[in-house]
Structure formats: C-alpha cells, structure tokens
Amino acid sequence: LFFKIAHNPLYMIPVGVAMFVIYASLGIFFIKKFNLATIGRESQEELDARNQAATISSAEDSEAVKFITALGGADNLLNVDACTTRLRLVVRSPDLANRAMLKVLGAKGFVVPSADSLQVILGPQAEIIAGQIRETLTRLPRDSHAISSSTIPSANINPVVDNSTQTVPSSVDIGAIVSALGNKENIKSVVIVALTRVKIEINKPELVNVEQLKDAGILSVIDVDQNTKQLYVGNSAKNLVDEVSKIINC
C-alpha cells in the first residue's frame, strides 16, 4: 500500500473503527442533549402537520388549499393581504393557525401584531400565495370539505375578503371613525400605506376607541407605536384617507 511509503497501513482499520465510534457517540450525545432537529426526529406535531399537508389533493389549487387549512380554515380568515415577503392576515383568532403545518409549507416565522392579526413570513412568493388563496376561496363550492378537518373549522368562503373587489362598507360612517380616533383635533396625520391600509398619527392614544373603530367598519387596528396606528379598511383606503383629510383640514 502507498508504494511502501506509509508505515503500518493496516493500522488504518482499527483507527477508522475507533474514530467512527467516537464521532457516532458524540453525534448521538449532542443531538439528544440539545434536541437538534434531524431527519426522522421531528416532533409529533410536525409529523402530523406533514401528513396533513400530504393528504390534501394534488389539484392545481392544492398549495392554496394547504395554506387555507393551515391558517385555521376559511372561517378564520377575514382579510387576506400581502407585502413583499409576508402574508398579512386579519383573522378571528391567530391561535387557530397550525404553525407546524405552515412551516412545512415554507413559513420562516410569524408575527402577531394584535389579537386579530397574523403575519406569516414566507419570502418573495408571499404576494403570489396570497393571490392564490383569494382565488381558491372564491372558486371552492360552498359545501367543500377541502379545507376542513376535525380540528380546523370547515371551509366557508363568505368571511374572506378579496382585496381585488373589497370596498369600504356602505354602513361605514366616516364621522364615527373620526370620533373613535378622539375627534379631528386628535388626528395629526392620515396617509395611505398600502392598497388596504391607512396609517394614522394621533396626539393622545388614550382617546382612541378600538371597539368603536371596528363597529364603524374597520377590519383591524394595529399599534405601530404609541402614537401611530394602522387601520385595515380594504382597497378603498385612499377614499377613506381623502374623506378623513377633508374633515380634519376643514
């Protein structure tokens, strides 16, 4: 072996066996000690989520159906929106979302800005997936069980808001919104920040009544900081900004 350059080459066999035992023992010790995620050692929750995702049909809209299921079913979705890297959702309860299943589907993380909002960090495909979710919900039959399970509410497309057609409800009273914000004297500025969201800077946050805002038709209220709030209103956000601006500037 090695053209007689190596000395005692047969020692490689016992040394190799010894190194294998050492590396294997250390690997097993650290994996168990720190509960490192390795193939075949997923938690039962992750295994259940993976199996649930695999059981959904391979139809063209299956990816969207999987996301709807993981997000708690259509009954849990009140508004589906997206920015560059995140699904921005208004939900009945963030706790109904199956985070393990969402991770299987590619979620990198989660943000819960308020009790009725959930953001799912996906990456650059977020806007595409949001569009697929909205489209799938409008095409599913009312009696579809594609997005229901024993632990997730059954599919119901009615509560979901499609941003492509959403408008501020006719029952919305702009005056009531201004009043819920503490009257026009409490509103420092109002600007549109996205198709469906309005950012409002206020002087005294304690004067803002969130429940009255929701009663007036606002889908969700998110505290950006102490004196700044974002209101989810649908794709007529610009109209709302214009009307509120007229009131506070008159």
CATH code of 224's domain: 3.30.1360.60
- pLDDT classification of 120: cutoffs 50, 70, 90: very high
Report in angstroms the alpha-carbon separations of 126 from 4, 101, 122.
62, 16, 6
Assess whether 125 and 195 both reside in one domain: no
Q: Which helix (H) or strand (E) holds 202?
A: strand 197-202
Residue 56 confidence (pLDDT): 53
| Domain match, 135 and 49 both | yes
Q: What is the mean pLDDT of residues 197-214?
A: 89
**Could you tell me the pLDDT band of residue 226, with boundaries at 50, 70 and 90?**
confident
Mean pLDDT is lowest, of 141-145, 149-153, 194-198, for 149-153
Catalytic status, residue 250: no
Whether 146 is in a domain gets the answer no
Same domain, 48 and 25: no
Within-domain flag for 21: yes
User: Is 26 within a domain?
Assistant: yes
With residue 77 as reference, give the H or E element that holds it: strand 77-82
Domain end, chosen from 121, 139, 157, is at: 139
Whether residue 166 lies inside any domain: the answer is no
Query: How wide is the angle at C-alpha 34 spanned by C-alphas 33 and 40, nearest 5°?
Result: 95
Tell me how far apart the alpha carbons of residues 72 and 87 are, in angstroms, rounded to a whole number. Answer: 14
Both 183 and 236 in one domain: the answer is yes
The H or E element containing residue 231 is: strand 228-232
Token pair 């919104």: residue:
177
Range of the domain at 196: 174-249
In a domain, 149, yes or no: no
Among candidate residues 42, 48, 83, 176, the one labeled active-site is: 83
Give me 242's structure tokens. Answer: 């214009």
158 contacts 125 by C-beta, under 8 angstroms: no
Q: Beta partners for 90?
A: 79, 117
Tell whether 194 is covered by a domain. yes
The Cα–Cα gap between 73 and 158 comes to: 12
Number of domains in the chain: 3
Distance from C-alpha of 92 to C-alpha of 224, rounded to nearest angstrom: 20
